[in-house]
A and B are shown apart, each in its own frame.
Chain A
């Protein structure tokens, strides 16, 4: 009577997953899709909003500066400005997706839907970060298309555009993920966005060539990782860079690796997610 039904016997192997192989591809794909649908469902906020903001910045700067005639870094100011605006929007989008997803799930309690399925810390991180990277890249692409009628941009170095767009989106998605794990309320995310991400993005050389800055500001700019994201992407479009491309490349790789390790460790430890 007391013997369990054969079908309910679970082998007592610790850490064994019954359904999947080494990687739970199906679960990973499901998490990724969930993260992508999140932003595709509200395009007015996630895609049209940044596009409108970017066009406004272009309009204001060309009206305020007589943009067509002014030359920065050897190209018309608007051509200098546009890639920086793409990167700024990508940075904010890639950050927003995982961070708001995690905090919303924590507040509404549906975080269990993420913690219960047989997903390893690496798979959780990958699914959410891939979602953020997708949003960043889609946003960048939309902006590139929308801006074309006003500022014709011909990509000259595809590799740099692709590398910096992906590396920056990934870094910001990882930062968004870490902030989302830490944050308990939307107010915390707003604080991270308004006091860290936006200032670093605004002061990274989107709107001006850092060459022109006075001494200490010039040095500080070189310590801002966002500077290398924008500078590298801009190099891909206009063929000139304010800083060293090699340093930029290295900074991006190291930054992403460091963030991956941190993010993975946080998920393994269960920090602020598990009791």
Chain B
């Protein structure tokens, strides 16, 4: 006679969550050239061309050499792209290959399901950001003046973008749709968020528009941690990213609970 064992996981299936998280981390660690090294090279290239094109050493922005203003923004931009990419690519690939059932079948609650993907994405984002910050030290000394602020905005940004990537991955039927989301929302919002310039110098209309861009607060807050200057209000920025994270968490949870695009 066959006996069945019921596995009891308690309130949280920690083992399952850990396994999913590990899967997500290995997903990108298997291709380090593509997932970690490439964004680092891209960040350095941006640093080089903007410095060369703008006469960076002599040019001053908000009372600082341009390169010191630029570098933290490039680091957080790399966090934005990498955190978004990991869960988005993983979910779309799972759907296309059919391997998503391996995540749907195990006893994982919607919250555990979401958390595993999101933490994996945030890990990649933070790793890429840290790698870029370390390499950029060669060209521009970057010392966090407010480490707490740096950490808060880095983690909040990584989590928010990982959740956005997760939602985009759930929605996108194919790679082409994911590329569309990247090209028309993430990249433009990141580029126009004040990484490359202080919004204080923009025409009024652009300045107002920037204040509605959540990425502006991520970049502004993160940069404040390094240079001690913010274009906008630091408190507003902290509140905006906190509220954004909460809202995204509810959205992710609802989508997974409802089985959106995953279950028939």
A positions within 8 Å CB-CB of B: 42, 44-45, 48-49, 52-53, 56, 59-61, 63-66, 186-187, 190-191, 194-195, 198-199, 202-203, 206-208, 212-213
Contact = CB atoms under 8 A, between A and B. Distances in A.
Given A45-B176, A60-B191, A213-B52, A194 B41 contact: yes
17 contacts: A48-B180, A48-B183, A52-B184, A56-B187, A56-B188, A56-B191, A64-B50, A64-B54, A65-B54, A190-B38, A191-B33, A194-B34, A194-B41, A198-B42, A202-B45, A203-B48, A208-B52
Given A202-B48, A207-B49, A191 B34 contact: yes
B42 A60 contact: no
Contacts, number: 90
Kindly state the interface size class of chain B when it binds its partner: 20 to 34
B180 A44 contact: yes
B34 A44 contact: no
A63 to B, nearest CB: 5
Contacts of B184: 52
B135 interface: no
Contacts of B197: 60, 63-64
A190 B202 CA distance: 36
B192 A208 contact: no
Given A52-B187, A199-B41, A187 B34 contact: yes
A52 B31 CA distance: 27
Contacts of B42: 194, 198
Contact of A63 (B33, B52, B188, B202): B202
Binding site secondary structure of chain A: helix
B43 to A, nearest CB: 11
A238 B179 CA distance: 33
Contacts of B201: 66
A240 B53 CA distance: 18
Which secondary structure dominates chain B's binding surface?
A: helix
Given A60-B191, A187-B34, 16 more contacts: A42-B175, A42-B179, A49-B179, A49-B183, A59-B191, A60-B192, A60-B196, A60-B197, A64-B196, A191-B33, A194-B33, A194-B42, A195-B33, A198-B41, A199-B41, A203-B45
B192 A56 contact: yes
A207 B53 contact: yes
Nearest to B206: A63
A203 B45 CA distance: 8
Nearest to B195: A60
A52 B176 CA distance: 15
A198 B42 CA distance: 8
Nearest to A44: B180
Nearest to A65: B54
B37 interface: yes
A45 B174 CA distance: 12
B179 A44 contact: yes
B52 A53 contact: no
A213 B179 CA distance: 35
A176 to B, nearest CB: 17
A52 B180 CA distance: 10
A1 to B, nearest CB: 51
A97 B191 CA distance: 26
Contacts of A213: 52
A208 B55 CA distance: 10
Q: Which 7 A-B pairs rank lowest in CB-CB distance, beginning with the nearest?
A: A194-B38, A64-B197, A207-B53, A208-B53, A45-B179, A190-B34, A49-B183
B45 A52 contact: no
A78 B55 CA distance: 16
A234 to B, nearest CB: 14
A212 B57 CA distance: 13
A64 B42 CA distance: 19
A117 B192 CA distance: 50
